[in-house]
Every structure is written in C-alpha cells, then in structure tokens.
C-alpha cells in the first residue's frame, strides 16, 4: 500500500484523489496539506503547511498551485521521497526547481495524467510528421471558469510534442495580431466557462481537407486515477524526471 501526502487536499482534484485512493486497494492518503478551509470531511489530517506534517508518507502528490512547487520539491528532497507534480502553470524558474529536485529524488511531472491525452499527443506527433508543412496547426482547449492558468498545461504539452525540433513559434489567441497567419505558427486558444472538465482539439488545416484530433475528459476522476497510478509507480525508482510516456512504456502499453 503506497501512502500519499496530498498537497491541495481541499481542491477539486484533491477531493478526487482522496476518493479514488480510498476506493482503491493500492494507495492511501496518510495526510493532506491545504491553505484553504475544509471543503469536505477528510478521513486524514490536513495541515496548512508541509512543514507541519508529522505522518509518514511514501510519496507527495501535488494538485495545489504552481507556486507551491518550491515547498513541495524542498520537502521531497529533505525527506528523500518522490513527488508527483500534477499542478500546472509553472513558470521557467519553477520548472528549474522541478528539474533540480529530480537530481536527488524521482519526480513525476505531467500537465495531464490521463492515458487518452497521452495517446492524443502521440497521434498529433504522427499527424504533424505525415502532413508536413502544407497543413496549419491550431490547438483549442476548453476548461471550467475557475481554472487559473491559460493556456492549459496540456495544450502546451501537445504543442511542445509537435514542436520537438523547434520549427514553430506559438501564437496565443489572435486578438493582438492584424496580419495573416504564417506557416511557422502553432496557434493556441483558450476557452473558459462553466464546469467544462477539459477539452483539447488539435486541428490540421490544409487547402482541401481538415483533420481534427480531439480528447474530452468526462470526469476529473481520470486525472486522479492517473496521479495515484503514477504515485504507486514512482516509489522505488531512481532519481530522475519521469512522465506519462515513461510509465506507459514500462507497463508495455
Ligand atoms: N495534471 C493533471 O492531469 C491535472 C488535471 C486537473 C487539474 N490539474 C491542475 O491541478 C491544480 C489544481 O486543480 P483544481 O481544479 O483541483 O484546483 P482547485 O483550485 O480546486 O484546488 C487547488 C487547492 O490547492 C490549494 N492550494 C493553493 N495553494 C496552495 C499551497 N501553496 N499549498 C497547499 N495548498 C494550496 C487551494 O487552497 C485549493 O484547495 C491546478 O494547477 C490544475 O491546473 C492538473
């Protein structure tokens, strides 16, 4: 049984992780951390700071906020435990903290914990290779009206996967541009509203045909399941930076 320290325990994803873990027979949340007031009756103690946690844990799962990453990575390194960073929106300095921590402990970092999105990324890479420069690539993402960061971490993961050779530059929305689209662009667009869990579409638009690859998350539970699976998988690994593709490959999927 893998015991989890859950950062962001009272958030929407924190609640889903707590529910998924308690229904599973492979993980248990031993303690939580959150800076907000309780949103439900947690079956584990929740502290307002990582420094106050006295419970034992095998791994930290962070579904809080990108600004928490310093405390999360420092705690992981100090305790010698792995961390699953599932929060999104990290700036370059915060990403450096993640990379630095991964020199000492195993760190799993993914802007999207669903298997389906990671398949979409593989399909989008294949499509971009096959279709070549005759097709314009645009990414549209939709999320609920409480999401803090834009574009989504997933939209950027998709763009980065297509752009591994760095031949494209990213154009975010188009309100500030009054010139026609250029060939070396990937357009990235964000929609926010209601309770949309997460929609991502990659559009390859040619002169005579359009190919669309899309993914729709029906429930946040899919991300909770992915994060708990990642938490169980990363315990005992060598220090390093891991992602969904490492876990998928190692399981022979
Ligand atoms: N990787 C994925 O698959 C995936 C999926 C969904 C959401 N996310 C990301 O996970 C994060 C949380 O999403 P959510 O929808 O649950 O948000 P939320 O706002 O509902 O919950 C975040 C919780 O974290 C707490 N928090 C904020 N700063 C904190 C800190 N410094 N220390 C401890 N707790 C802190 C808040 O009080 C809140 O309860 C976001 O960054 C979101 O983009 C990632």
- Judge residue 166's burial from the number of C-beta atoms within 10 Å of its C-beta, 0-12 exposed, 13-18 middle, 19 or more buried: exposed
Q: What φ, ψ does residue 99 adopt, rounded to 5°?
A: -60, -40
Q: What are phi and psi of 210, to 5 degrees?
A: -130, 130
Mean pLDDT by 10 residues, the chain (253 residues): 98 97 95 97 97 97 98 98 96 97 97 91 95 95 94 94 95 88 96 96 98 96 96 97 89 61
- 3 CA distance to ligand 1 centroid (A)? 20
> What domains lie within the chain, and their CATH numbers?
2-113+220-250 (3.40.50.720), 115-216 (3.30.360.10)
Edge-to-edge, what's the strand order for the sheet holding 136-143?
169-172, 185-192, 136-143, 199-205, 210-216
| pLDDT at residue number 177 | 79
Catalytic residue among 90, 143, 189, 200: 143
CA pair distance 33, 51, nearest whole angstrom: 10
From the CA of 111, how far away is ligand 1's center (Å)?
A: 12
228 CB contacts (<8 Å, ≥6 apart)? Answer: 4, 17, 20, 21, 24, 26, 27, 61
Residue 106 CB–ligand 1 contact under 6 Å: no
Q: Which atom of ligand 1 is nearest to the CA of 48?
A: 33
CB 33 within 8 A of CB 9: yes
The answer to whether 49 and 224 have CB atoms below 8 angstroms apart is no
pLDDT at residue 178, rounded to an integer: 82
- Taking the model in full, what pTM does it have? 0.87
In 3D, which of 44, 109, 41, 37 has the Cα closest to residue 72? Answer: 109
């Amino acid at each position: 049984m893998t015991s989890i320290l859950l950062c962001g325990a009272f958030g929407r994803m924190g609640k889903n992780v707590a529910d998924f873990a308690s229904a599973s027979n492979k993980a248990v949340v031993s303690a939580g951390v959150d800076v907000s007031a309780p949103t439900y009756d947690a079956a584990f103690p929740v502290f307002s700071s990582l420094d106050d946690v006295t419970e034992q844990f095998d791994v930290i799962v962070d579904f809080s906020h990108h600004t928490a990453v310093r405390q999360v990575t420092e705690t992981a390194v100090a305790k010698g435990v792995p961390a699953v960073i599932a929060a999104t929106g990290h700036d370059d300095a915060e990403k450096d903290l993640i990379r630095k921590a991964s020199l000492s402990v195993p760190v799993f970092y993914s802007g999207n914990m669903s298997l389906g999105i990671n398949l979409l990324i593989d399909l989008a890479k294949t499509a971009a290779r096959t279709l070549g420069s005759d097709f314009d690539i645009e990414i549209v993402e939709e999320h609920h009206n409480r999401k803090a960061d834009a574009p989504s971490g997933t939209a950027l993961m998709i763009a980065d996967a297509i752009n591994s050779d760095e031949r494209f530059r990213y154009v975010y929305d188009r309100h500030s541009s009054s010139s026609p689209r250029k060939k070396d662009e990937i357009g990235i667009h964000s929609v926010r509203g209601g309770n949309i869990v997460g929609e991502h579409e990659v559009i390859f638009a040619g002169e005579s045909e359009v190919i669309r690859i899309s993914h729709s998350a029906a429930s946040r539970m899919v991300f909770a399941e992915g994060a708990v699976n990642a938490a169980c998988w990363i315990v005992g690994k060598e220090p390093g930076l891991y992602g969904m593709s490492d876990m998928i490959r190692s399981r022979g999927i």
